[in-house]
Structure formats: C-alpha cells, structure tokens
C-alpha cells in the first residue's frame, strides 16, 4: 500500500500542472481542430462536417498572402535581429571603458512590454508623428510610414527595436564561454580576425545562435499585439499577418470554423519549430 503510494507520488506533483495545461492549451487545441472541419454558429453546436473550410481558405488568395506576409515579416525581422545582436555582442565583448554602460543601455528595449512598444511606434510612425516631425526639421518631406507600402516594414522596425537585445545578451553570454586560449593559438598560427571569427567564434556560438533564432522565430511568427495595435493589419490587408487574420476571421466575423482552419494550418509549421527547439535545448542543457 505504502509502496504503491510512493510510486504514485511524482505523478501527484505534476497533476496540477498537467490539468491546467490540458484545459487551457491541449483541449482548446483539439477543439480548434474539431471546429475547423465544420460550421459553427454562435450558440449552436458545430455542424456540417467536411473539408469546406480548408477548401475555401486554400482557394482564396487571402490566407496564402497573409501566410506569405507572416513568413516575410518573421524572416526579415529575425535575420535583422540576428545580425544586429551579433554585431553588438562582438563589439561589446571587447573590454573598453563604458562597456557595461552600453550593455545595460542596449538591454532596455527588451525590458519594455510589447503593448508599450506598439504605442511608442504608433506615435513615431504617424503622419504627423515623431519621425516625420524630425524629417521636417531637417527639411525633408513626411513619409507615409503606416501606409500600404510601408506598414509591414514599419512593423518589422518596431519588432527589431524590441527584439535585438535578447540576441545580443544571449550572444554575450555565449562569447564568455569561449576559452581565450583558442584565439591566442590562432594568432600564433597567423589567423586574421576574420578567420578567427569564422573558425572559432561562429562554431562555438552555433548552438546558441540556433536556439535563439528558433525561439525568436516562434515568438515573432505568433506576435499579435504589435501589429494589431500599430496598424490593425491594414491599411487594406497590407500588414495582415496570420494572427490578425485568424482573429478577424474567427472572432470579429464570427466565422469560427474558417478561422480555426487557418490556425490549424499553421500548427505543422509551429510543431516543426518547437521540436527543433526541444532538440536543440536538450543537446545544450
């Protein structure tokens, strides 16, 4: 009796966590899947099962173009964050006076919540907002930052502003773990700084770079509030990334099944990224 209880004990400890995650994540996920195959009207059960939602989505241009925007947004933003983070980490890894001050200062955007970031940039990018006021002060014409041509790019800029410090700080932590002797030996062998970077720094940081990029890709892809507050997905559909389209279709327009089907179609992509991340973290930690 006692022994049986002992064996059960670990499960008892994880039960609350499992129950919570099951009820607010796993069950909703399955329900989304279930809804995506039918039509649901407010106050009624799901009915008329079939593939109609999927067919509708895949034949309309809207979903595909929105997915394309999400992929573009994520790719450009993550790449920019990676390059900026790596450059700043390499510069701030060298010792010079005021280095810690710079590190602390560049960390600041990361500490500011997304909703604040969105509002800060909403002011900056307005037609009579911060950037255009500054441009005007030096005699330049205002730019329509939140117009159909630039809205997605403006969103990327805001995303990079908040996101790059995470890359920088992670890389700085990684750079610290590379033994100095490696560089000394390379110098003795006559390797120039570029070779040292390519053959020592980059391979040593490989895992960290992969983890940080995968994590940031998942976050950036799933980010709803930045563009929702900044542009609302518009003007038109110009910055309608997938999370906003799912919200609009499934919640604003009450097309539950169709919105659910859109969400379901992104699940394989997200799962692939998550499994990649899990493997990377397992290998490193």
Partner 1 sequence: MTKVGGLAIRVTILLLFSVFVAVPLYWAFTVSFTPLRDILYRRPLYPTPFTPEHYKDLFTGAWGGRLGGYTFLIPLKNSLIVAVGNTLLSVSIGILAGYSLALMNFKGKEIMSTFVLFAYVFPPFVIMIALRLLAAWWGLRNTLYGLILFQCVITVPYCTWMLRSYFLSFPKDIEEAAMVDGCTRFQALIRVVLPVSLPGIVAAATFAFTLSWQDYVLAFILLDADRLFTVPMALSSMVIGDLVQWGKIMAAALVSSIPPVIVYYTLQRYVISGLTGGAIKG
Question: 152 and 223 in contact (C-beta within 8 Å)?
Answer: no
Please give the residues from 174 up to 213 whose contact with partner 1 meets the rule CB under 8 A.
174, 207-208, 211-212
Tokens representing 32 are 């989304």
Question: 153 and 146 in contact (C-beta within 8 Å)?
Answer: no
Which sign does the torsion angle of CA 19, 25, 28, 30 carry?
A: negative
Q: Which stretch binds partner 1 (CB under 8 A): 27-35, 48-56, 180-188, 196-204?
A: 27-35
Count CB-CB contacts under 10 A for residue 61: 9
**Among 57, 106, 146, 155, which residue sits at the site for partner 1 (rule: CB under 8 A)?**
106
CB 128 to partner 1: min, Å: 6
The backbone torsions φ and ψ at residue 47, rounded to the nearest 5 degrees and listed phi first, read: -140, 180
Q: Is 115 in the site for partner 1 (CB under 8 A)?
A: yes
Binding mask 121-160 for partner 1 (x = CB under 8 A): xxxx---xxxx-xx-xx-----------------------
Nearer to partner 1, 144 or 219 (CB): 219
Question: 60 and 145 in contact (C-beta within 8 Å)?
Answer: no
CA 87 to CA 167: how far, in whole Å? Answer: 10
Count the residues of the shown chain that bind partner 1, applying the rule CB under 8 A. 94
**Among 109, 147, 148, 234, which residue sits at the site for partner 1 (rule: CB under 8 A)?**
109
Q: Is 1 in the site for partner 1 (CB under 8 A)?
A: no
Q: Is 86 in the site for partner 1 (CB under 8 A)?
A: no
């Amino acid at each position: 009796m006692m022994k049986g209880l002992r064996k059960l004990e670990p499960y008892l400890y994880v039960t609350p966590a499992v129950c919570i995650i099951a009820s607010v994540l796993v069950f909703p996920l399955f329900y989304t899947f279930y809804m995506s195959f039918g039509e649901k009207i407010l106050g009624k059960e799901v009915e008329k099962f079939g593939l109609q939602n999927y067919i509708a989505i895949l034949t309309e241009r809207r979903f595909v173009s929105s997915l394309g925007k999400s992929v573009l947004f994520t790719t450009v933003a993550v790449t920019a964050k990676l390059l900026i983070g790596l450059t700043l980490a390499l510069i701030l890894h060298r010792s010079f006076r005021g280095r810690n001050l710079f590190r602390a200062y560049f960390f600041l955007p990361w500490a500011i919540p997304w909703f604040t970031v969105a509002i800060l940039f909403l002011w900056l990018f307005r037609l009579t907002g911060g950037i255009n006021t500054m441009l005007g002060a030096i005699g330049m014409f205002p730019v329509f930052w939140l117009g159909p041509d630039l809205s997605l790019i403006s969103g990327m800029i805001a995303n990079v502003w908040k996101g790059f410090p995470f890359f920088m700080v992670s890389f700085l932590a990684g750079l610290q773990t590379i033994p100095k002797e490696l560089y000394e030996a390379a110098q003795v062998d006559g390797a120039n700084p570029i070779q040292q970077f390519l053959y020592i720094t980059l391979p040593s940081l490989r895992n960290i770079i992969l983890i940080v990029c995968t994590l940031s890709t998942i976050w950036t892809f799933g980010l709803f509030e930045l563009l929702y507050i900044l542009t609302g997905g518009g003007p038109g559909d110009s910055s309608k990334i997938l999370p906003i389209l799912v919200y609009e279709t499934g919640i604003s327009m009450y097309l539950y099944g169709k919105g659910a089907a859109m969400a379901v179609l992104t699940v394989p992509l997200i799962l692939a990224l998550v499994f990649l991340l899990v493997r990377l973290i397992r290998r490193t930690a």
